[in-house]
Structure 1
Amino acid sequence: MTERVLALQPLTAEQRAQLEQTGAEIVTAADWENQAPITAIFGWDHEVGPAALMAPNNQVKWIQTVSAGIDYLPLDWIKAHNVQVTNASGVYSPSIAESTIGYLLYFIRGFNEAVKNQAGHFWQQPERNDLGLLASQKVVIYGTGSIGQAIAKLLNGFGNQPYGVNRSGHPVDGFKDTVSLADDHTLLKDADAVINAMPATSATVHYFDDAFFKQLDGLNVFINVGRGKSVDQQALMNALLYQNVLHAALDVFEEEPLDKNSRLWDYPNVLITPHQTGFAKENTKPVLDIFKKNLTSWVADGSLPVNLTDVALGY
């Protein structure tokens, strides 16, 4: 039987032709309902995706996402119906890592104050001792997977050896030391920056809550480039108000887009970006490369060699 892939990610004619060289048939969102059963999905759409996945006449056994996260998929249904999911883990790590370094430098080197002063045409030099070097900061990264490792690699280039937090505390290259989630408190007392790069799982929802932030005493920078639901936004706002956290850079939020009436927009010590840290024109080719490798193998023998996720774990 010919594998029929519903492409919910835009493809050029050339890209589609390359994919069909594997022997699979590529179907668009405009005509999937009028043809033979779909067996795989590339990309996702919150309306078309579930409709195609759950249509009685379809036989979807595999979803290839264009994202690293898979938490937006109907994972319970997917698990119950033995659908395999591969993701684009690793593709976006370099761009997210570069953005994270930008966030750190923005606050550590005082660019945040310079931007505010420029808006008022106000020349005001900071005190020399108010600025630091990235090399001397104690940085704690939650999540030591592809994104965390990419951040650590760039920090190493600045002469900084960050600390890592993961589920078990297993060692990871690029980190000075790693601890388990259960022991993360041992790193926080004198931390200068905390970066969330954890995936979205049941264990990470609101991990950064009131109790977490109350452990901090004037943390210079809190950064979230992981998942929005990992952070209790009200708890973070309280921490910023009471100076448990002095500055925050946020790319992801509990609800997106961030509500126009959210008070976070007006916090002078917060930098908000609209879930853009993974964006880079260079990402298109590696996403397609992952998909093509998996599709070639899928057509040949049903295997998925690249980035097969554990749906039960959520990543």
Structure 2
Amino acid sequence: MSASGSKGALLAAAALMVNAFVWGVSWWPFRQLESHGVHPLWATAIIYVVSLGCLLAVRPRAWRGLLQYPLLGLLMVASGLTNVGFNWAVTVGDVVRVVLLFYLMPLWAVLLAWLLLGEKPTAISLSRMLLALVGVVIVLKTGDSAWPVPESAADWLALMGGFSFALTNILLRKLRHTPAESRVLAMFGGGALMATSAACLGLARGVVALPPAPALSWLVYAVALSLAFLIGNLALQYGAARLSSHGTALIMLSEVVFASASSVALGAAELTGRTLAGGGLILLAALWSALACDKPAPSVRRRAG
């Protein structure tokens, strides 16, 4: 590799690390917003409305792709549910546990690729799925539960978000021929639409309160998080377009490290032996899956942000 090529690869890797860092520590500003009375659903809606507005200001015709490719509507829903599940879960649950359950990509990806892309699972892919499944059983099984089932709303939200994340990635592969700006619009729009819809539904049921009146004390977190997500998405666009899909996937696993280190240091998570053992198997399955990738990745391969 030439010096310029090596420098470009390092810059691309650094850009992906920026994106992983933004998502790995995003739990903290979400919790700060919640402490000021802003539910994570409203916070997510605000973030993606701002992101959507910025995108449309730069690419005002991006919406035309939604009319031309109806399947982008499903991408919108999947991406929106990804953000609803993850952002809500890391706000109310044990951060390490949430991130591990969210990263069950090998399990969901095998099933969804079979159903949506017609890719029959191989013995190796089934082995990765089994490894991830054993890991989640260890994480979920506690001494107080007879079966390894989710024990909190955060667990269910993390699993839902992870499934939607896998569906998002499968759809991005299926829609790789569509304009990149239309895919990004679908993902930003999905984050805004699904979070707002879920917040309104929760408001009607008395589960979610209206956000407080605008005040500098919480708006500063909302604006900072919106800008961080925009920077993270630009970094992802830059890095994923210049590295192989398996290289991108490997670097993105650093999100687990950022989330774990920050949450344990700040008392938002507890590293038990069970979590370490099960989490190790889940990450091993994800690592194995990443190393097995050999196809070029589309310009966006995860949550918008």
TM over 0.5: no
> Larger Rg: 1 or 2?
1
Name the structure where strand makes up a greater proportion of residues.
1
Normalised TM-score (structure 1): 0.23
Higher relative contact order (CA 8 A, sep 6+): 2
Name the structure where helix makes up a greater proportion of residues.
2
